[in-house]
Amino acid sequence: MTFIALLLPGAFAGTAAADPARVTRLQLGLNAGLTRLVVEASGPVEAELSAQPDGLGLSLSLTDLRWAAPPAQPNAAGLVAALGLPVQNGGRTDIAIDLIEPAVVERAFRLEPQNGPLGPSGHRLVIDLRPADPQAYAAAFTAPVALPLPTTVDIAPPPAHGADRKYTIVLDPGHGGQDPGAISASGRHEKDITLAVALAVANRLRATGRYHVILTRDRDRFVRLNDRVALARQHEAALFLSIHADSLRGDRATSGATVYTRADAATDLEAEALALRENRADQLADSAADREVDDVVSILLDLASRDTARLSGRFAGLLTASMSDSIALRRNAMRAANFRVLSAPDVPSALLELGYLSNPGDEALLFSESGRSRLAAAAVAAIDRYFGVAP
């Protein structure tokens, strides 16, 4: 620890100094169609942005920054209806940002002090907001967002690599073989619907010429969850989409699609129970050597997984929005839980529950050619949008 402290004299000065950095100016304006908020201070600005617990708005929490004499509050601009008065909160300063409509951070970066006509500027943190649909807004702020963002383009997926510039996508039809998955009231199996939809999505993706598509299974066979994850990692997939359909015992009313991402803590009890059911698939395997791996996740991968989580959230938002054109969505259609099949730390991934086999309407839709075709088209539209290649 001493070694680290010696390397960071600035950290010492910061805590020892009686005069911490102060915010000197707030600016709000429009820049190339984005709403831009600039925080200027006497030292480098770090912050966290989170959703306000009630109402539509964000809370900007400036780390280790105090508020100087009350500067002028900027006028409303763009997506921002009003900025709250800064509130000193221990070493932090909190500013409420009331929004006119849901918004997410397009980019957030620092500018070093520069000399200008009025003398040197302070350190600046620039935050650009763009409008978003409610689901994307909810997904973006499931946890506080640290600013500045690591790079200015970090929520765009990396460019396609390889000679042919195609993205590799792994589609994962849930269950298979001795594991039927959920069973409908009329006795039909989840494993059949997940395979049929995955094949339909694969055909449409391949037809675009933009993607390499790999299926974790292309027929009725059992595949362990770890092997599904390993396949995506081995191929360095740009995206992993696991396809399922749910069923609720004794409940014929609940219907609609849900999109899940992975989180240690589930968003709700139903999501938690679902993850437990889906994770149970591996118990049907001839056990024995099941204990292997799982702890390959190094610190480096942990770092990677932060970006992976952001990208997964972004894709889940696009998929939810796209599905809503084809099938009714569950209330709170974007959820998260600890799904083992979504555990690759370096592959953005989501799990789509197409609907409920326990609901007659959903069952009819999922077992019809036209219903599956519509669902597949919606998934492909979301994938195209995610990679920024939507026509």
Candidate list 43, 102, 181, 313; residue touching Zn ion; CB under 5 A: 181
Q: How many residues bind Zn ion (CB under 5 A)?
A: 4
Q: How far is the CB of 221 from Zn ion (least distance, A)?
A: 15
Instruction: Specify the stretch interacting with Zn ion by CB under 5 A; choose among 98-106, 130-138, 153-161, 237-245.
Output: 237-245
Q: Which residue's CB is nearer to Zn ion, number 102 or number 181?
A: 181
Instruction: Specify the stretch interacting with Zn ion by CB under 5 A; choose among 79-87, 157-165, 181-189, 308-316.
Output: 181-189
How far apart are the C-alpha atoms of 329 and 209, rounded to whole Å?
A: 30
- 225: tokens are 């969850």
Q: Which of 96, 125, 114 is nearest to 25 (CA)?
A: 125
Cβ atoms of residues 232 and 170 within 8 Å: yes
Instruction: Specify the stretch interacting with Zn ion by CB under 5 A; choose among 60-68, 116-124, 239-247, 260-268.
Output: 239-247
Q: How far is the CB of 319 from Zn ion (least distance, A)?
A: 17
Q: Which of 197, 176, 204 is nearest to 371 (CA)?
A: 197
Cβ atoms of residues 330 and 257 within 8 Å: yes
Q: Which residue's CB is nearer to Zn ion, number 174 or number 345?
A: 174
Number of residue whose CB is nearest Zn ion:
244
Q: How far is the CB of 181 from Zn ion (least distance, A)?
A: 4
Backbone dihedral region of 187: left (phi > 0), alpha (psi from -120 to 50 degrees) or beta? left
Q: How far is the CB of 185 from Zn ion (least distance, A)?
A: 17
Is 244 an interacting residue with respect to Zn ion (CB under 5 A)? yes
Query: What beta strand segments (E) does the chain contain?
Result: 22-31, 34-41, 47-51, 57-62, 66-67, 80-83, 87-89, 92-99, 103-111, 115-116, 119-120, 123-131, 145-147, 167-173, 211-215, 239-246, 257-262, 329-337, 349-356
Compose the 265-304 pattern: x for residues touching Zn ion by CB under 5 A, - for all others. Answer: -------------x--------------------------
How far apart are the C-alpha atoms of 352 and 323, rounded to whole Å?
A: 10
Q: How far is the CB of 375 from Zn ion (least distance, A)?
A: 15
Cβ atoms of residues 96 and 86 within 8 Å: no
Residue numbers 338-367 binding Zn ion by CB under 5 A = none
Q: Which residue's CB is nearer to Zn ion, number 174 or number 313?
A: 174
Instruction: Give me the numbers of helices (H) and strands (E) for the chain, helices first please.
Output: 9, 19
Alpha carbon separation from 174 to 222, 272, 282, 292 (Å, rounded)? 9, 17, 12, 21
Q: Which residue's CB is nearer to Zn ion, number 204 or number 244?
A: 244
Q: How far is the CB of 26 from Zn ion (least distance, A)?
A: 49
Residues with Cβ within 8 Å of residue 361, at least 6 apart in sequence = 255
Q: How far is the CB of 323 from Zn ion (least distance, A)?
A: 17
Instruction: Specify the stretch interacting with Zn ion by CB under 5 A; choose among 111-119, 240-248, 305-313, 367-375.
Output: 240-248
Torsion of CA 29, 33, 34, 37, to 10 degrees: -10
Q: HSE, CB side, 13 Å, CA atoms: give it for residue 57.
A: 15
Q: How far is the CB of 390 from Zn ion (least distance, A)?
A: 29
Q: Which residue's CB is nearer to Zn ion, number 224 or number 244?
A: 244
Q: How far is the CB of 175 from Zn ion (least distance, A)?
A: 6
Instruction: Specify the stretch interacting with Zn ion by CB under 5 A; choose among 38-46, 157-165, 243-251, 303-311.
Output: 243-251
Instruction: Specify the stretch interacting with Zn ion by CB under 5 A; choose among 174-182, 216-224, 256-264, 364-372.
Output: 174-182
Return residues touching Zn ion (CB under 5 A). Answer: 174, 181, 244, 278
